[in-house]
Structure 1
Amino acid sequence: MTAARPRETAGTPPPTAVRPVLTGIGSWLPPDVLTNHDLERRLGTDDAWIHSRTGIRRRHLAAPGTTTSDLAVEAGRRALKSAEEPTADAVVLATTTPDRSCPATAPQVAARLGLSGVPAFDVAAVCSGFLYGLATAGGLLATGSACRVLLIAAETFSTLIDPADRSTAVIFADGAGAVVLRAGTDGEPGAFGPVVLGSDGDLAGLIEVPAGERYLRMQGRATFRQAVERMATTSRTAVAAAGWRLTDIDRLAAHQANTRILHALADELGLPPGHRLSNIEHVGNTAAASIPLLLDHTSADGRLRPGHRLVLTAFGAGLTWGATTLRWPDLPVPRDTP
């Protein structure tokens, strides 16, 4: 019997559809840095080998005792300070590394941010978590369940990594990024387009922490092929759903998996080198936190400017994937540290 082909979901909303609009952004990286040179003796490799295969030279790791909620609170605080109205009446936390298996981590994060009483919950979609969280936040805004949503993506992904496994220890890292979203309409600066999502549980074994085990396992070559194919296809769908063409895109903000995947994806989409945003060299693969970290860093350094049209896309374990579009806004409040 032939397995059903995985389907991607994208609504066909009316012109007056409510859209999540970006009004604030912030990020946080733990201060401890692990460089390729630090890994050389442990893994029997060198900086040149790691960088040529991943594009990474350094990554940030949470110190012992530092939790995902700690990172989430710092990023959330900065996003709220950046927002035109530094409030939220719902908190969505995208993470695969919650502080504990029960209860969810989001209510604790909300309380620490002075938001006790608002609805708060976790979303788990690994490296696609930010986009799954964005779709969820958009639903809260569209139904009137919330007027402003704080969406945080935070990971202490190093806790899932075998420090002696060269295939994963050189890639994954820790960090958090957050955005504040309000209800708005199509076409205004900061408005996200339709969010296209997909999954294929038949291939879950490509990236997994097997039951009863502690560490992540990844089949690199097969994951590479799936990542490029799924992100390229979904990006095309999201761009078309927004009424754009690929030639309209100014910047590609893809999940920072590794440089080879990023280049292959951009080539597949026909986007020139100057359109490709990246910060993986200095932060590594931070799973769900990857896209908001990328947006915050590249807007701060000028590579991402108001008016730029972006396609955002991610791929992760599950398998899960997603994409959306965004016209970058001129955020009114400087994103300095609290």
Structure 2
Amino acid sequence: MSGPAAVVCGLGTWVPPYALTNEELSALVDTSDAWIRSRTGIGRRHIADAATATSDLAVEAGGRALKSARAHAGPGVDAVVVATTTPDRPCPATAPLVAARLGLGTVAAFDVAAVCTGFLYGLAAGAGLIAAGTAGRVLVIGAETFSRILDPADRAGRAIFGDGAGAVVLRAGEAAEPGALGSFDLGSDGTGSDLIAVRTGGSRQPYPAAGQAADPYFRMNGKAVFRGAVERMTASSRRVLARTGWAGQRPDLVVAHQANLRILHAVADRLGVARADCYVNLDRVGNTAAASLPLALGDAGRDGVLNAGHRVLLTAFGGGLTWGACTVTWPDIEPA
């Protein structure tokens, strides 16, 4: 007999106050608003100041999610999962610090590193803890300060990526109730690990001694990633939709990783979903990697696009390479 289902009962988001517009970015690197919008659909992205770390964003979003969940699940959680590519430090994980700063005591806390698919992997981990009976409530956070790992001279990277955080609270419940996470499909292909990478700083290529060459910045093969993102998110989405029991009905809303407007449209077209039903907020926040999905869910709720009872498909693609999808019938909650 399977264990309890993981039910979404709280949602919170946070972005740094400063939004860097395309016009402002054009004064810093060789680009333009027209160039950025035509290739990505992005108009601005939020950038954390020098005093703000990933844990700060995670605490803000996590605290809001806990507030949102209080009416449905009571105070506190039993575990914290932080999905991030930009932890405060290489060691230790960021999640224990976030749990402590949120006043959650000595709960289990760990990080998940799956780049832009990180939040989906984190949801699956949280759902597994609940199904196993290890936790009754789990706080899952996607948080990034991606601006810290971008090459200042890389006009493409600086145009695409921004900082932010989003979080959900999961509680143990029944599979048939609103908010219950449905089927997951997760995958990876390590033969493409060099397509999205920060090459320096790990055991393969440690930081060199003074005077030696190093590349500490994020690098991406945009064309190959574009093709992979469309193919993998489409295939993964088809697999979970085939297992949802929605009797062949299309989802009411697709919330995909906010990487590029052309990718979002291509995935919607391949799934036979109207482009208007594929939610877009990357024009306002850019690509926020592991924070992308929860930030999009929060904005969709505030925009009145995501409402209780909607059948929602979540999907993402990221470094690793990693990808995934899952389904949820949205509950009656207010994003904080």
Give the aligned partner of residue 81 of structure 2: 92
Aligned length: 320
Q: Say which of 182, 188, 191 aligns to 1:199.
A: 188
Worse-matched range after superposition: 201-210 or 40-49: 40-49
- Rounded to whole Å, the distance in 2 between the matches of 1:58 and 1:246 is 37
Q: What aligned pairs does 1:60-71 form with structure 2 within 5 A after superposition?
A: 60-71=46-57
- TM-score between both structures, scaled by the size of structure 2: 0.93
1:265 aligns with 2:300: no
Gaps of 5+ in 2: 201-206, 208-214
Report the 3-state secondary structure (helix = DSSP H, G, I; strand = E; otherwise coil) of the residue aligned with 1:132: helix
Give the aligned partner of residue 212 of structure 2: none
Deviation track 1:125-145 (CA, whole Å, cap 9, x = no partner) reads 000000000110011101111
CA positional deviation for 1:206: 0.9
- Rounded to whole Å, the distance in 1 between the matches of 2:220 and 2:278 is 25
- Rounded to whole Å, the distance in 2 between the matches of 1:246 and 1:294 is 25
Report the 3-state secondary structure (helix = DSSP H, G, I; strand = E; otherwise coil) of the residue aligned with 1:236: helix
Report the 3-state secondary structure (helix = DSSP H, G, I; strand = E; otherwise coil) of the residue aligned with 1:42: coil
CA positional deviation for 1:242: 1.8
- Rounded to whole Å, the distance in 1 between the matches of 2:183 and 2:138 is 17
1:183 aligns with 2:180: no
Q: What aligned pairs does 1:93-242 form with structure 2 within 5 A after superposition?
A: 93-211=82-200, 212=207, 213-242=215-244
Q: Say which of 323, 326, 331 aligns to 1:324.
A: 326
Report the 3-state secondary structure (helix = DSSP H, G, I; strand = E; otherwise coil) of the residue aligned with 1:170: helix
Kindly provide the amino acid, as one letter, of the partner of residue 169 in structure 1: R
Gaps of 5+ in 1: 1-13
Quote the RMSD (CA, aligned, Å).
Answer: 1.2
Q: Say which of 11, 16, 36 aligns to 1:50.
A: 36
Report the 3-state secondary structure (helix = DSSP H, G, I; strand = E; otherwise coil) of the residue aligned with 2:181: coil
- TM-score between both structures, scaled by the size of structure 1: 0.92
* Alpha-carbon distance change, 188 to 53 in structure 1, aligned in 2, over 3 angstroms: same
Report the 3-state secondary structure (helix = DSSP H, G, I; strand = E; otherwise coil) of the residue aligned with 2:324: strand
* Percentage identity across paired residues of the two chains: 60
- Are the aligned partners of 1:236 and 1:246 in contact in 2 as well (CA < 8 Å)? no
* Alpha-carbon distance change, 70 to 294 in structure 1, aligned in 2, over 3 angstroms: same
Q: What aligned pairs does 1:258-297 form with structure 2 within 5 A after superposition?
A: 258-297=260-299
Worse-matched range after superposition: 205-214 or 234-243: 205-214
- Rounded to whole Å, the distance in 1 between the matches of 2:250 and 2:79 is 33
Give the aligned partner of residue 211 of structure 2: none
Deviation track 1:10-62 (CA, whole Å, cap 9, x = no partner) reads xxxx6x55321000000000111111001112222210110111110000011
- Are the aligned partners of 1:154 and 1:177 in contact in 2 as well (CA < 8 Å)? yes
- Aligned structure 1 segments of 4 or more residues deviating by more than 6 angstroms: none
- Rounded to whole Å, the distance in 2 between the matches of 1:229 and 1:183 is 33
